[in-house]
Structure formats: C-alpha cells, structure tokens
Structure 1
C-alpha cells in the first residue's frame, strides 16, 4: 500500500508561489483568485470526493495533512478553502455512514462548484444548536431563508452556500433546517471584510432575503439544541479537525522561520550565530516540543472519523479539544518566533508579522475557549445541575 505524500499534490514550487502571493493578498485585502485557480488545477476542490464521483478519493486524514502544508505558505488561502472542504468532508462522513443525501455536493464539487459555509451568526453562541435565520417552508418542500450570516469565507467566489435556519412553524415542534442555496439576487454579499489578519479569506457578511433552497437541496431537519444527528457530527468533526490543521500549519511555518533566522543571525557579543545561543536554543526547543504534539493528534482523530470509530459522548470533547490546543499552541509558537527573530519581525514586511496577525483569528472560530472548556467539563463531570 503506497503512503500518501502531500507534496504530490502541493509540491514545493507551488507552495513557494502561494507564499510569494500571500503578502500581496494581505496588503491589498483581496481574495487570492490566483491561488484558487492553481488549487483547482491540482484537484484540490475534489480532494474528498470519491473517485467514482469525479474526485481524488482522499481521506479526511489526507486532507488534514494537505491543509497543514498549504497553511505553511498561505494561511488565508488554506482557511478559505477549508470551508469548501468542510462541506465535501461532511458529504463523505455521511456517505461513509450510509447516508447519501449530500451526493449532489460531491458531484457539484467535482464539476467545479465552490461551496461556502453559512452557519455563523452575530451573537448566536448556540452555533450548530440554534439559528436566528428564519427557514420558511413552502408547499413543494423547498425553504426560503431570511437572515444574516457572518464570516462567510470565499465571499467573492462561492457558488453554493450551505446553511441552516430555524423553522418554528412545524406542527411537531421547531426544527433546524440544513440546506444549500445558489448565489442569486436573494443573496447579498457585503464588501465588509477589513480585518487585522486572515484578510485573504474575504469572509464577508451574507444577507439572505428569502433565498430559496429547492426541496432536493434540503438535506436535514433536526431538533434545536445539542444533538447527535449525523449532520451535526459531520460538520463538527470536519470543521474542527481542518481548522486545527490550518493553525498547526501556521505554527510549523513560524517554527521553520525561527530556525532559519537563528542560523543566519550573528551575535556581536559572542561572534557566533544565534543558533549557538543557549537561550535561543531553549526557546526553539520549547516551540518544537509544543508543535510536535499536534500533528499526531490531528492525524489520529481524523483517522478515527474515517474509520467510524466510536468515542461515544467523548467525541465532541476530543474534537473541540484538539482545535483549542492547536490554536493555543500556534499562538504561543508564533509569539516565540517573533522573539527569536527580534525587532525586524515587527515590520509589516516580515512574514512573521503577518503570521502573528493571522494566527489570532483562531480564537474566534467555534469552539472558542469558553465553549471548548464547557464541552470538556461536561464530558468529564457531567452536565451542570
């Protein structure tokens, strides 16, 4: 059995091309259209689509490794494409479990459609367990969605939006409706993405004004609140693991830059490179010790999702935990890389300066630190009385 090598899809030369564009994309606050074109060319939009449906047939564990590699060159590009991969990943998770309602996602992705993730809403800390967006049912089984979604990555380029909304009219009680809408006149994408970092994601606000999802694009209706429904598990597992991968990739790049800097800078006091300085050596070793723990964790959990392992009630704690640890580790590693590089890293022309800003976005993605700790506490101590 051959071992998957991420470099076969993302060779070093392509990574350097992405890296050369990243600073320009950040400075111009625009979407990396050139990166998307290159990713299309190598089949990146089709990574998680089965081969018999036009894809590359890779596993979630393979995609996680690729996302770590891509993030070392262009974090914003990796984070943006994450949201497309989430939906194709959810389709795979469901298909692996005998649910083929997202076959159209796989086929559309193979045909070149770009999927965006329309779940986040301002002030909605329920995330997957609730929605302020109204999902109004039509007699033909379609739904019209009205509301506002935030942080919609791929804002200028997506062609399909996966989203959820609340149908409060159902006779058997309220239901969260998961569905997909096209980009039409009923969908307004605001040009409002002007942020500290991750600027290339162009995660713009999306207004829904009765955007209709046809009946065959309404994929799930579930009760609000914590729910083990397969679509909730699919979204949560793929989202958390691929997010953890992006921020772990940022940490790896910061560590590599710190090593390169320590080897190239010479101390006037000692006359030797900083790589010979005991304090610098300790700091880089500490960075490496922190980083080394995450790739195996992401790989193990991704393989468990692929293999349909049963972690029972601990699944959500494990998934939110790995995302939380990855972000906290990455922030710490980038901080230390800045110290190793010295004052030059404070200039905006420094790659570390951009990584320092990009990595901060990790704390705002679900699960945030409060949610992660609440989930883990409930898993180990039981629910609050």
Structure 2
C-alpha cells in the first residue's frame, strides 16, 4: 500500500542533499548529471518498477510517483531525465500486470544496468503516438530500419537502448506504426547520431539532444508492436500514455512542493524593516503562501488515486485519456503558479540566476511543452464530454 511506503527508504536525505548540491552546477554548465545517475543506479533506482522476482524493487506506479516527486524537489532535471527510463520500465509493468510479457527484456535490461531512452517526439508531429515522420523499413530478418529525426531525447549521453516508433508504409495490410528498440551500438555503425544541441532555458541537465536515425536497425526480437496509425486501444499505447503523463505530473508536482518550501523558509527568515517582524507575519505574504498550498495540496492525492487505478487495472473506459491528460495539465499549471508566487514571496534575490528559485522558475516552464500540451489536453477532455468534432 502507498500509505505504508516511505520514499526516504530509497531516496534518503543524504542522497538528495548530494543531488541538490550538484544541480546548480549542471544547470550553469549545461552538463549531464553523471554522478546523480551513478548514485541512483547504486540505490537500485533504475529497476524500482521491475518485479522483485526479476531482481527489481517491485514498487507500484503510485509509489514511484512519490519517489519522483521527492527527487524533483532536489533536482528537477535529474528527475525529468530518469523519468524517460522509468516510462519504459513502467510500460513493461503495465503490460505484465495485464498478462503481457512483451517488454520482459526491458525489465531484465534495467536490472542489468541498461538505460532506456524515449524516442517518440518529432518536430511538428502533433499526432505523437498516433503518427510518425520517421520511416520504418522492414528488413529480411524481421527487424526494421528507422530513418528520421527524434527531438528531446533525454539521457542522450548515457542511454543504451532507444525505444521509438516509425511508420511502415510498405505493409500489404496498410500503413503500420512500428514500435521498437534500437541499441546504442547503431551509433558506432554510423546509422545513428546524436547532436550536441541541448542549450535551453531550463531543464538543462536532461541533455535531451536531437537524435538522427539513418537506417538504424532494431532487431526482430525488439519489434514490440505493429499498429494501425491513429488512436488505438492497444495496451502498449495505454501503457505509454498513462505512465508518461503520471510521471511527468509527478516531477512538476515535486517542483511545486520545493518552491512552496523555499517560500516558507524565506518568509520565516526575512524581517520587515517596517514592522520589525518576520515576513511570515505579513498578511499579504501569508495569503500568498496559503494560496500556493491550496493549489498544491490537490495534486498529490490526485496522483496517488490515478496511479493506483493504473496499478489495479481500473476501468475508466473512454474517460482514461481525459483523466491522464487532465492530471498532467493540472500539475504543470499548478506548478507554474506556485513557482510564480514563490518568486514574489522571496523577493528580488530570487531573480539572480544562482538562486534555486530562479532555476525552478526556468525548469517549470518545460512542462507546457510535454505532451499533452494545453491544446491537446483540452481537445481530449472536450471529446470525452462532448463527443468528437463533427466532420
């Protein structure tokens, strides 16, 4: 049960302190947090969603949501980067929980130290899971060669397996979306290249670089699905969407929690020249912090509830995608609002780039660019309540 789970057992305070201390340098220098990954690997973090029978921690999605909230409070970029590995191990769990072992190799790979990256995003592709500009060409041995460009590929310096999709237009039964995993060895073979182009406003430590595929080969035993383009009820699609949205929402909820904590610390430590009292006694400051807490408090229980529903294979029918889009959208907009208010509570010192709140302010902005973006979330929820748009 989540109520009995203590995230500090896996992410103790001393580990988080080390990760938090390194976060500013990675943001300033635009570098990947290799030491964070080393510490997290030693803590068994890469396999927290893998069943204990396979050598993992056997945690639920609801429990890992709590872990990601805690990690994001220390280093948002580290949490967001590791999120993309956890998405694939989470999808493997969603499938296995439903009696489908197609991603068993992801689970055993995670235990063995493999790092899985998420190669779905493509520039201008608002179909996301339902379409692709990457060509998937069948090979004589049953594998596929992929040619195209993937953007926002987090973990670029360290991933060993890239989970991706592409479109096979040669299939006799019509176009098919092909989901597969490409090994990093394709880089040495010259069929895959990673651009050193990650220089962004925030979330700099994720090093989510552009990946170019030039016939990159996925072997036959790593071809996971061939699906018709467009919305699809396949459990793989549900698994990707549900785990991706929940763990993203967890990261941004963790950012909000940290911003709230910093606002409280600042209000308690600063003294008003006008009254001689701590700012925590100022009615306006108290109102701001109360407002922050009021909007933040709704998200952790919502995340716990929807994560538990995924864990327990609850049936929300056609409402599932609206619920998942909604929790991600609410978490991101809530976090942005909380960080905005925290900046005002902290005052001008928070405007300096060296301030932790300044980094959180830049990091939280990334949330609006992840699927489901605001337009997609609203369209999904409108369709759930009003039905599809008429042609």
| 1:1-385 equivalent positions in 2, closer than 5 A | 3-183=4-184, 184-185=186-187, 186-385=191-390
TM-score between the two structures when normalised by the length of structure 1: 0.99
TM-score between the two structures when normalised by the length of structure 2: 0.98
Q: Match of 1:180, SS?
A: strand
In the alignment, the residues of structure 2 paired with residue 140 and residue 373 of structure 1 have an alpha-carbon distance, to the nearest angstrom, of 43
**1:222-257 CA-partner distances (Å, limit 9, x unpaired):** 110111111110000000000000000000000000
Moved over 3 A (4+): none
In the alignment, the residues of structure 1 paired with residue 40 and residue 192 of structure 2 have an alpha-carbon distance, to the nearest angstrom, of 26
Structure 1: 5+ residue runs without aligned partners?
Answer: none
1:139 Cα deviation after fit: 2.2
The alignment covers a number of residue pairs equal to 385
In the alignment, the residues of structure 2 paired with residue 384 and residue 190 of structure 1 have an alpha-carbon distance, to the nearest angstrom, of 40
Provide the alpha-carbon RMSD of the alignment. Answer: 0.7
In the alignment, the residues of structure 1 paired with residue 256 and residue 19 of structure 2 have an alpha-carbon distance, to the nearest angstrom, of 17
In the alignment, the residues of structure 2 paired with residue 43 and residue 74 of structure 1 have an alpha-carbon distance, to the nearest angstrom, of 18
In the alignment, the residues of structure 2 paired with residue 100 and residue 8 of structure 1 have an alpha-carbon distance, to the nearest angstrom, of 29
In the alignment, the residues of structure 1 paired with residue 266 and residue 64 of structure 2 have an alpha-carbon distance, to the nearest angstrom, of 30
In the alignment, the residues of structure 2 paired with residue 311 and residue 162 of structure 1 have an alpha-carbon distance, to the nearest angstrom, of 27
**1:291-337 CA-partner distances (Å, limit 9, x unpaired):** 00000001100000000000000000000000000000000000000
Structure 2: 5+ residue runs without aligned partners?
Answer: none
1:83 Cα deviation after fit: 0.1
Q: Match of 1:72, SS?
A: helix
